[in-house]
Structure 1
Amino acid sequence: MNKEWIKVVIAAFFEVFWVIGLKHAYDFWAWTGTAIAIFVSFYLMIMAGRKLPVGTVYAVFVGLGTAGTVFSEILIFGEPFKVEKVLLIVVLLAGVVGLKLVTADNVREGAES
């Protein structure tokens, strides 16, 4: 995995925090943390998208963020565990991994093709 894909994974990690923050923020500091998470998440995704295929970057970002958010809601916030939901997340992650595997890792130096 090259450093651009690592940026995408870290961006998805921060996406989980800002999505949770949008739902559960209640004071200035929680909203500040949410805003910082949004900034870091999108900054890393945009930086990775400059050198990797944007469609794949976005799909991986959203897929990992969605999976992380669902599992966080179950583990931290007491969302009911449903086998169907987990199976669908596994299918989503399989699609994300599949996209990553079929996307060439040849990193571009600029936006030109």
Structure 2
Amino acid sequence: MTNEESDLRSALLLEQAAYCFLVTQPPMHRKYAFHIVLAGNRYSRAGQRKHAYRCYRQAYQVFQRREWSLAEDHIQYTVAKQAYMLKQLEEASRSFAHLLRPGSLQSAQQQTSFLKEYIQTQNVS
């Protein structure tokens, strides 16, 4: 599925595979989240921002508060960027603000980048 040339077709198949992991007994939440992130990435590459945004939001539900901070940061950053592109500035601002929390494991350079993008969302709204 990830080798599929068509980004849209690959995204659809990855999303369906992700949902299959949810209906197994017991549900495989991490595999679901991994595949839904892959689907979101492929939707984004296919120019399907709303679907990419939806997939990343679903993945965040699995990753939040699991102490996988770098994975959580990646998802929050992608949610913020997708929300910004979809003109959902409040959501983008919230997601960027989440990245600026104390105790972040991100480098100072990455934190500076997050801060600049947060300020950009504030200036637009």
The alignment's TM-score, normalised by the length of structure 1, stands at 0.31
The alignment's TM-score, normalised by the length of structure 2, stands at 0.29
Higher RCO (Cα < 8 Å, 6 or more apart): 1
